[in-house]
Amino acid sequence: MTAKHNALNAERIHESIHIFSEENLSTRYSGNINCFDTIDSTNTWLLENGKNGDFCLSETQTAGRGRRDNRWVSPDSGNIYLSYCCYFDHSVPHRSLLGLVAGIATAEALEDIGLTGHGLKWPNDIFWKSKKLGGILIQTADNYEKFVIGIGLNVSLPQDSLNQITQAATSLEEALKNQTVNRETVVIKLMEKLLSHSEMFAQLPFQAFTQSWNRWDILNGQRVSFQHQNQKIEGKVDGIDKHGRIAILLESGIEYFTAADIKLKKSNQASQTISKQSTTNRL
Ligand code: BTN
């Protein structure tokens, strides 16, 4: 298929970073930006080739990966498939929570390009008005010191792609009311936020991010249900704690769960949504 959008260009992005940066990243940024037309997965490429601070982008992915071993269908339709490689050694005890901070970075980047009405569904889905706009996948290597943050963001979803997605999905074009979206602007904002947030992440305890998380959290105060140890549990979300666990108010009191333990759904949504989610390849 011939792309109808301009391909992302590494040199242009590199040159432009300082124009969009609030923190003069052009002088601080020393990594590489690798742009591909097609690749198996931008995450896999960085896991194999990435150095600290490197980015990888592709117009399309042939083996895009989603969370929970799902495939991330990645058409060449002008979406963003971006990965960032960073290292955190054992002096950063909260590094398993990088995905939450990557979510905050993404939400802030989208705010900076003028989007409103978006938020984060714990642990790291990006939503706009109850529809999934994007997702984040964290992968690790090198003795749990090398981290790759992968962000998939729907910018333009043609009908044939939408037809493949059984969960409610949306795109930046829909969310921004068909304004033309300059992908490079979005990519540069994302990079800027990922660079600054990962730097802060290395220096600060996770607690420093909980307030920002709460600002974007779309589940806070909502009734949710989930499976835990073969039991269906229902409760009300009461934010996250300093360990990044979600707090759920149950009849028996507050309990805390990690992202590996549970997969949440809103209680008032049809259960069909979840069964679709678990069978679909994407979103
Ligand atoms: C999710 O399941 O919600 C997370 C999806 C993450 C997809 C992105 S696209 C860029 C990067 N490369 C991949 O193979 N996956 C991530």
Contact status, residue 169 vs residue 162, Cβ threshold 8 Å = yes
In a domain, 52, yes or no: yes
Nearest CA among 15, 152, 140 for reference residue 77: 152
71's enclosing H/E stretch is: none
Burial 206-231 (b: 16+ CB within 10 A, else e): beebbebbeebbbbbeeebbbeeeee
Atom 3 of ligand 1, nearest CA residue: 135
In a domain, 2, yes or no: no
Residues 182 and 254 in one domain: no
In a domain, 133, yes or no: yes
Provide the residue range defining the domain that includes 269: 223-273
In a domain, 4, yes or no: no
Task: Give the nearest ligand 1 atom to 68 CA.
Answer: 2
The per-residue pLDDT for range 142-159, each reduced to its tens digit, is: 999 999 999 999 999 888
The per-residue pLDDT for range 46-78, each reduced to its tens digit, is: 999 999 999 999 999 999 999 988 889 899 989
The residues of the chain scoring below 50 in pLDDT are 1-2, 19-21, 25-26, 269-283
In a domain, 279, yes or no: no
Residue 265 maps to which CATH number?
2.30.30.100
Nearest CA among 98, 71, 62, 74 for reference residue 157: 74
Atom 5 of ligand 1, nearest CA residue: 66
CA distance 106 to 45: 21
Task: Give the nearest ligand 1 atom to 42 CA.
Answer: 12
Residues 210 and 227 in one domain: no
Number of domain units in the chain: 2
In a domain, 250, yes or no: yes
Q: Is 0.95 surpassed by the pTM of this model?
A: no
From ligand 1's centre to the CA of 63, what distance in Å?
10
